[in-house]
Amino acid sequence: MPQRNPFRRTRLRLTGYYTGIMGLILALCGVGYYQITEHQRLQALTQKIESSSGILHDSLGTVLLRPGRLNASVEGLLPGLCKTKGQCLEPDRFSRRHVLGLVKQEVYYAQLKDLSGQTVATLGPSADYIPNKTVLEGWQIFTNSDGERFLQYSLLLETVNHRNWGYLQVGRSLSELDQELGATRQFLLWGWPLAMLFISGAGWWLAGLSLKPVQNAYQDMQRFTANAAHELRTPLSAAKATAESVLEMDNISEGEARKTLGTINRQVNRLTQLVQDLLLLTLIDTQQDRKDAHKACQLGLIINDVMDEFLALAHNAGLSLTAELDTTQPLIVQGDEEQLFRMIANLVMNAIQYTPRDGDVVIRLDRDKKYALVEVRDTGIGIPAEQQAHVFTRFYRVNRDRNRKTGGSGLGLAITQAIALKHAGKITVQSQPSQGSTFRIYLPTPLTS
Ligand code: ADP
């Protein structure tokens, strides 16, 4: 059965949220853009109509004589004027055309109405298409019987001696604007689903990208848990089997009991070591920074402590363990002394473990630019080139069977690397099978004395 991918649901959900939010933003932007465009265009038209109707109003105010009646001066002022029941005037005969610049355009019109609202004269072809009844003062947008929208401004006209004459209405068809807005609406309506399609695709890809590190961490954790369980089970099973075999015996001598307890004790020690290593790793991983544990540490002194700890072990293994320290200039790093000791001790312990009799293990401390260099080299069995990249992985062992005999769990180098990284340093390995290995740790040295 194929394994279910627990991240698929999360990826789908993230894609959904992303698409939803982007869709909403896009829709709001679309609606906003549409409304702003409509508002701006209408405002531009409004200003144009307002200024032209103002000019017309002022000009007519100087020539209108009797309320509701046209006179020759009015006709002179408005070339192309059509009296409701008469002929339209020939525009070319008239001067002062500038007043009518607006209504000369196809889409604009002007109407003169008497005080009862009856049309007295019209100007411009659009005037034929507007309904008879419209408001007599102020702004209005109305629709005619053909569904065409018009924007119109109406204002009261006065005669030269300030009597109310009637009304002037100036307006224009909004069909051009409506066509433009219709095209925008169509674009937004069709473009939005298309954009959503692209957005959901991009969302799926982005969600996959952002989940990748989490997925890797999750897989690492699963592998780590499985390895830890396996490593813990081995000594537990051995201790259990030893205890059960003794319990099945009727009689047991003191010697056998001691031997059995010794075996169980070894397994418990192994378990304890394993649990301590795991706890240390967790501590290094999770601990933000044990600032209180950080202090200036002299690496030379720590190496001396490591030498003291391992000299006897190396001697018993038939190895020479030496330290090459430059004592003229002590190298100091800021860090956790206990952890730094453990970091170097792990390397020395490995070097002793993986170096046959009569071999050499050397610890060297030196300065490398702004780093302190701690080098542990041995003349041991070495590590095959293809395995060198993996030796710092938790629970990784080059040769499982051989390491089982040495009691290694594969956490030593992982702990060393974690401590080096925690101290803003790095670790490298150089090795040749049957020739030996060299591990180098570089630690920044903010303090020198
Ligand atoms: P272990 O506890 O098994 O030693 P480590 O993490 O310390 O685990 O080391 C990982 C593996 O790297 C070991 O299993 C061993 O095979 C290899 N290794 C580490 N140090 C050396 C060395 N100095 N010489 C040869 N092999 C080494």
Closest approach atom of ligand 1 to CA 411: 6
Q: Could you tell me how many residues make up the chain? A: 449
CB atoms within 10 A of CB 362: 18
Helix (H) or strand (E) holding 112: strand 108-114
Q: What gap in Å lies between CA 52 and CA 102, rounded to an integer?
A: 7
Amino acid at position 391, single letter: V
Pocket flag, ligand 1, residue 412 (CB < 6 Å): yes
Pocket flag, ligand 1, residue 381 (CB < 6 Å): yes
Pocket flag, ligand 1, residue 344 (CB < 6 Å): no
User: Whose Cα sits closest to atom 14 in ligand 1?
Assistant: 397
Q: Which residues sit opposite 22 in a β-bridge?
A: none
Residue identified by tokens 């952890």 is 339
pLDDT at 300 over 90: yes
Cα 104 to averaged position of ligand 1 atoms, centre (Å): 96
Give me 22's structure tokens: 């982007």
pLDDT at 168 over 70: yes
Pocket flag, ligand 1, residue 166 (CB < 6 Å): no
pLDDT-based confidence at residue 291 (cuts at 50, 70, 90) = low
Q: What gap in Å lies between CA 305 and CA 297, rounded to an integer?
A: 12
Give me 310's structure tokens: 């391992």
CB atoms within 10 A of CB 119: 18
Q: Mean per-residue pLDDT for 129-137?
A: 78
pLDDT at 290 over 70: no
Amino acid at position 429, single letter: V
Residue of 354, 395, 441 best suited for mutating to test ligand 1, as the one with most atoms within 8 Å of CB: 354
pLDDT of residue 95: 45
Cα 327 to averaged position of ligand 1 atoms, centre (Å): 30
Q: Are 151 and 176 in contact (CB under 8 A)?
A: no
CB atoms within 10 A of CB 178: 15
Give me 26's structure tokens: 């896009």
Side by side, which strands form the sheet with 426-432? 320-325, 360-368, 371-378, 436-444, 426-432
Residue identified by tokens 């062992």 is 397
The separation between the first and the last C-alpha atoms of the chain, rounded to the nearest angstrom, is 64
Residue of 274, 342, 361, 391 best suited for mutating to test ligand 1, as the one with most atoms within 8 Å of CB: 391
pLDDT tens-digit profile of 391-420? 999 998 887 655 555 567 889 999 999 999
Pocket flag, ligand 1, residue 350 (CB < 6 Å): yes
3-state SS track over 405-443: HHCCCCCHHHHHHHHHHHCCCEEEEEEECCCEEEEEEEE
pLDDT tens-digit profile of 144-162? 888 899 999 999 999 998 8
Q: Mean per-residue pLDDT for 205-230?
A: 92
| Mean of per-residue pLDDT scores for the chain | 87
Q: Are 155 and 51 in contact (CB under 8 A)?
A: no
pLDDT tens-digit profile of 64-105? 888 988 888 887 777 778 876 556 666 554 444 445 555 556
Cα 233 to averaged position of ligand 1 atoms, centre (Å): 21
User: Whose Cα sits closest to atom 19 in ligand 1?
Assistant: 350
Q: What gap in Å lies between CA 150 and CA 174, rounded to an integer?
A: 5
Pocket flag, ligand 1, residue 352 (CB < 6 Å): no
Pocket flag, ligand 1, residue 417 (CB < 6 Å): no
* Nearest Cα residue to 395 out of 383, 412, 416: 412
Q: Mean per-residue pLDDT for 345-369?
A: 95
Q: Are 375 and 366 in contact (CB under 8 A)?
A: yes
Q: Per residue in 199-216, is it b (16+ CB within 10 Å) or e — as a string?
A: bbeebbeebeeebeeebe
Q: Per residue in 271-291, is it b (16+ CB within 10 Å) or e — as a string?
A: beebeebbebbeebeeeeeee
Q: Are 202 and 196 in contact (CB under 8 A)?
A: no
Which burial class, exposed, middle or buried, applies to 53 when counting CB atoms under 10 A from its CB (0-12, 13-18, 19+)? buried
Lowest-confidence pick of 79-93, 100-114, 275-289, 380-394:
79-93
Pocket flag, ligand 1, residue 437 (CB < 6 Å): yes
Closest approach atom of ligand 1 to CA 351: 23
Q: Which residues sit opposite 335 in a β-bridge?
A: 295
Q: Are 400 and 394 in contact (CB under 8 A)?
A: no
* Nearest Cα residue to 110 out of 59, 151, 170: 170
Q: Are 365 and 333 in contact (CB under 8 A)?
A: no
Q: Mean per-residue pLDDT for 253-260?
A: 88
* Nearest Cα residue to 103 out of 111, 115, 94: 111
Helix (H) or strand (E) holding 444: strand 436-444
User: Whose Cα sits closest to atom 2 in ligand 1?
Assistant: 408
Name the region of 286 (left: φ>0; alpha: ψ -120 to 50; beta: rest): alpha
Q: What gap in Å lies between CA 362 and CA 323, rounded to an integer?
A: 6
Q: Residue 58: CA atoms inside 13 Å, Cβ hemisphere, count?
A: 6
Question: What share of the chain in percent tops pLDDT 70?
Answer: 90
User: Whose Cα sits closest to atom 21 in ligand 1?
Assistant: 350
Pocket flag, ligand 1, residue 203 (CB < 6 Å): no
Cα 410 to averaged position of ligand 1 atoms, centre (Å): 7
Cα 399 to averaged position of ligand 1 atoms, centre (Å): 9
DSSP-derived secondary structure for 219-252: HHHHHHHHHHHHHHHHHHHHHHHHHHHHHT-S--
Cα 279 to averaged position of ligand 1 atoms, centre (Å): 20
Pocket flag, ligand 1, residue 409 (CB < 6 Å): yes
Helix or strand or coil: residue 201?
helix
Pocket flag, ligand 1, residue 422 (CB < 6 Å): no
